[in-house]
Each structure stands twice: as C-alpha cells, then as structure tokens.
Structure 1
Amino acid sequence: MSTTQTPSRQLTDRQREAYLRDGYLLGLPPIYTAEEMAGLNAELPHLLALLRPGETTNDMREWHHESAFLYEIVMNPRILDLVEGILGPNFYVWGSHFFIKPAHSAGTVPWHQDAYYWPLSPCNTVTAWLAFDDVDEVNGGMKLIPGSHRGGIIKHRQRDDDKAVIKLELEEGTFNVDDAVQFRLKAGEISLHDDRAIHGSQANPSDRRRAGLTIRYSGTNVKADVGKSPEFTAHLCRGVDTYGHTYYGPVPTQRYGRKERTPPEPAARN
C-alpha cells in the first residue's frame, strides 16, 4: 500500500534521551493517515482468512516473510526513520505478531519482558506497536513500567491461565504495578519499546476491537541462537551487516500468501 509523501520522522535528541531513560516512546507522529489505515483494515480480513483450522489470531506471527502486504508495513520508511534513531544506521526486522482482542474478549497479556522469550544476544531490539484500532484503557491497551528495562532480565514463571495469550509471566514482587503507564494510541499511530521493558495488558470488556501489529527490529550485532530457533529469518532494513550472524530471506511476492517455510541450509546462516 502506498503512503502519502511526508518528511522523514527522525527522533529528536530529547526523544532519544527519553527512550534510553524510560524504555519506551509515545506521542510519535502518525505513521498512517485515517484513510490509509482504513485501507489496511480493509485488507486485514484477507490475512484472517489464511488461518488454518485450530489456529487463532495469536498464530499470526512472522507472516511478513510471505506477505507483501505486511512486508510493506514493516519496511515503511516512516517507521524505519524512528527505529534508526534508537538502533543506529544498521538494523534488520525479524518479527511481527498480531495481537487482536475482539470486543468482549477475556484474553490478557501477562506482565513480561520480550527479551526473556527470545534466543537473541545482546539485547538490542526495538518493538514498534502499530495500532490498527484506537487503543486505550477501555479496550485493553498496553501498560508499561517506565525504566524497568534498566534492571536487566528478570526470572519469569509459568502461567496456568487459558485466558492468557502468552504462558510466562514475571514473578510477583519483581516490579510495582502502580508505576505502570497506560498506552493510548489512535489507529495509525505507533509506540516504541525496549525488549527488556516490563509490560502487559488486560482483557477487553468494551464494544470495540483492539488490534495491533508488533514489529521487532534488531541491530545487526544481534545474533540468534539457531539451535533454539532454527527458522530465524530477517530482512535487512537499513545500512550494512558486517557481522554475518543472520540469514536474510527473500522479499515476498504474494500479497497475502502463506506457505510452509523450509529452513535454509545451516551453512547459509554462518
């Protein structure tokens, strides 16, 4: 989907300082206009139709590898300009994941740190959370603990809860919920957060859907443990990769297509 031509979205020094201090950024310029966002939402049902029997929207992970529709989003220069302000000139995109809470849904995302889940080292990943709907405290918008990324990775525990979208959560007493900041976004806006920041979200008892696409960007110095994640694949967004840690996949050609991925030969992964 084409986007209206706008000036670059470089972060200011103050925004960079705030991100380093707090582990997140809000109040960024919209990535998509209301008209553009309506177009993206009109195409979303084509992706939902590709879910297989037994799958849910939580299974819509890394589909940008096969979907040109999603690839265009994760490679949007408006987003990349902002991410470059955090990661610097050399970075790749490897992850995308839809978090969709229908109206009157009980699904929650327990308090967690993204980096605890990922076999990546070092911690140098930015998540862009793109709102497909208006998001706030009423329909289960995300909350985040400012500054929590500076405390390192904290032990998580198994959560036995069918309503939880993810199955690991931070142990009680490792953070103060009262410190949480409520994220509020209009459709077409994004937030940015550090991979170590503590965050989560509640159920959506409202009459409104809450849909968002998370996009994971890492500096080229970040290496995946392919023993734990043998299908790890990325796309270079900007700059050059002088490390050679990462396998870069082909650009997708089908608009929504989904196919079974075959991991590349180990030699190709360095």
Structure 2
Amino acid sequence: MTRQRLTREQQEFYETNGYLIGMPAIFDEQEVEQLNAGFNKTVGMLNEGEVPSDIMGWHQTSRWQYNICANPQILDYVEGLLGPDFYLWGSEFITKAPKSEKVVPWHQDSYYWPLTPHNSVTVWLAFTDVDEGNAAMKVIPGTHKGGLVQHKIADEESILSFQLSDGTFREDSAVTLSIPAGGVSLHDDAIVHGSPANESDRWRIGFVIRYSSTDVKCDLEKNPNFKAYLMRGEDRYQHNPQGEIPTVDFARPESSKRIRKR
C-alpha cells in the first residue's frame, strides 16, 4: 500500500474536533489474520486471573508489539498531528467479549496520565471490525479544548476507576468511531470518550498506542516505569528515560500491573 500523509483538511478537522477516522486500512486481510494470531499468542502468555486488558506496555519486551507501534504508516499519521519529533510511550489491548456487560465510562485519558504538557495522540488499531453493533468507542467532538474536567469514582460495571461527573458534557453530540479491521482512529488525549457494553455476538479487539511530542515530560514519581521510545526526529529535551528496543518477538514484562487504575 502506498503510504499517505494527512491532508491539511484532515489536520484541521482533528484540531477542531479532537479525533480522526476514515483513513484507508493500514493492514490488509492477510495481515489482519497475522495480527490476530499474534494477539492469541500473547493472550496465551497471561497468568491465571489475568485478562487481555492486562496486556499493557508489552511493547517494552515484545518486538512483535513494538513493530506494530513503529509501523511507518501509523507514524506518518502521528507526525501529521504531533510534528516531526515524537516518542512512543504506551500500548495496551482494549477488548470486549461478546455479550460483555463491561463499559468504558465517559472520561479523558489525560486525567489519568502524569504528563506535562498535554500533547499526546492515541492510535486505536482495530484487530476486528469495530462499529456501533459491537460497542465501538464514542467521542464528544471538541471537548479536548475545554481542559481537564472533574471526574468521580466510576460505577461498578466500569473497567476504569474514574469517570466524568454528570452534567460536564453533552452525550447527545457523541460520534461513533467505526473502524474496519486493520484500520485506525486517532484521538487527542483530552477528548471526552467512552464505549458501551458489547451486546453483540462478536469480539471487539483493539490495540491502543500512545505517542507524545518530545517536549512532554512524565512525572516519574507517579509512573517510575515510564520509558520513551523516539519514533521520529530528535529529542532535544531529554525529559524522560529512554527505552531499549526489545529483541524477543514475544515476551511479557516482569510486572504487567495496570497503571490507569489509580
């Protein structure tokens, strides 16, 4: 596939709305099968009691996951939003089994992250077709411009620890981010987003990748395991510890504790 750069119109849409969809799929049908084979192999490495959503930050030890994060087409899209100098720092699988009652409540990613300033892009890579029927993510356009909003303790059925307080946004303006298998969406770290329960008979499997511009610094007291992997350009700031590219195709970290549930 010929690599594409974001058009000025796409960049302006993202700046205004805080998200972007509609780009051609990055991986073809055969490559999607390979992605899911890698996912199944990774799930097979989980310990008893762990679930796929515990696969967080394994790009630090798994070359297979690191290579996905370093995919040139993905990086081209990210560069169109963050500029020429940016690094990879986070990844996780976000899955919903058929008939799952779990929800991702309305929230802002940047509320959870000890990063300053807020200038991060999340890439949501679909391993399966994702649509309204199997609980695709929804966003509230433009909410990334309003700064951080007060959160509260999340409801019991939530997979997160915090959610937005009632009355802090208008749910009727939500947009569903439908993505074909092998495709991606992009969203700002401060946009309000969430997803409902999966009432369908289909899996919803997504691999989420986090990138930040090199001026973004992590508070290492809150996340001492933070590692930055320079993806494009140069790091003139040297704010964060640098990660080492893994050499083993499939390997789990010694500790895989989820850090979003603070």
Q: TM-score range by the shorter chain?
A: over 0.9
Correspondence for 1:32: 27
Deviation, 1:75, is 0.3
Contact residue 92 and residue 220 of structure 1 kept, 8 A: yes
How far apart are the structure 1 equivalents of 2:235 and 2:138?
34
For residue 186 of structure 1, the aligned residue among 169, 180, 185 is 180
Residue 169 (structure 2) pairs with residue 198 (structure 1) = no
C-alpha displacement at 1:205, in angstroms? 1.2
Contact 1:58 / 1:165 at 8 angstroms: preserved in 2? Answer: no
CA distance in 2, matches of 1:124, 1:65: 22
Q: Secondary structure at the match of 1:138?
A: helix
The residue that corresponds to 1:19 in the other structure is 14
Q: Describe how 1:1-270 pairs up with structure 2 within 5 A.
A: 6-161=1-156, 163-260=157-254
Cα displacement (A) at 1:160: 3.5
Deviation of 1:247 after TM superposition, in Å, equals 1.1
Counterpart in the other structure of 1:264: none
Report the Cα distance in structure 2 between the residues aligned to 1:118 and 1:245, rounded to whole angstroms: 16
Q: Secondary structure at the match of 2:134?
A: coil
Cα distance in structure 2, aligned partners of 1:116 and 1:259: 25
CA positional deviation for 1:45: 1.2
Structure 1 residue 191, shift from structure 2 partner: 0.3
Identity %: 49
Gaps of at least 5 residues in structure 1 are: 1-5, 262-270
**Paired residues of 2:154 and 2:161 also in contact (CA < 8 A):** yes
Count of residue pairs brought into register by the alignment: 256
Measure how far apart 1:42 and its partner are: 1.5
TM-score by length of 1: 0.93
The Cα shift of 1:57 comes to 1.5
Letter in 1 for 2:147: G
Task: State the distance in 2 between where 1:178 and 1:10 align.
Answer: 32
Aligned-residue offset at 1:8 = 2.6
Please tell me whether the aligned partners of residues 58 and 98 of structure 1 are also in contact (alpha carbons under 8 angstroms).
yes
Deviations 1:3-58 (A, max 9, x none): xxx33321100000000000000101211111111111122111001111221112
TM-score (norm 2): 0.96
1:230-265 per-residue CA deviation (whole Å, 9 max, x = no partner) reads: 11012100000000101111111111111316xxxx
Q: Is the 8 A contact 1:112 1:200 kept in 2?
A: yes
Cα contact 1:100–1:212 (8 A) shared by 2: yes
For the aligned residues, what is the CA RMSD?
1.1
Q: What letter corresponds to residue 61 of structure 1 in structure 2? A: M
Q: Is the 8 A contact 1:26 1:191 kept in 2?
A: yes
Aligned-partner Cα distance in 2 for 1:41–1:55? 19
2:143 aligned partner, one-letter code: S
- Distance in structure 2 (CA, Å) of the matches to 1:30 and 1:160: 35
- SS of 2:132 mapped into structure 1: coil
Counterparts of 1:142 and 1:168 in 2: how far apart (Å)? 17
1:132-183 residue CA offsets vs partner (Å, 9 max, x unmatched) = 000111111000000000111101111141x211110000000000000011
Report the secondary structure of 1:111's partner residue: strand
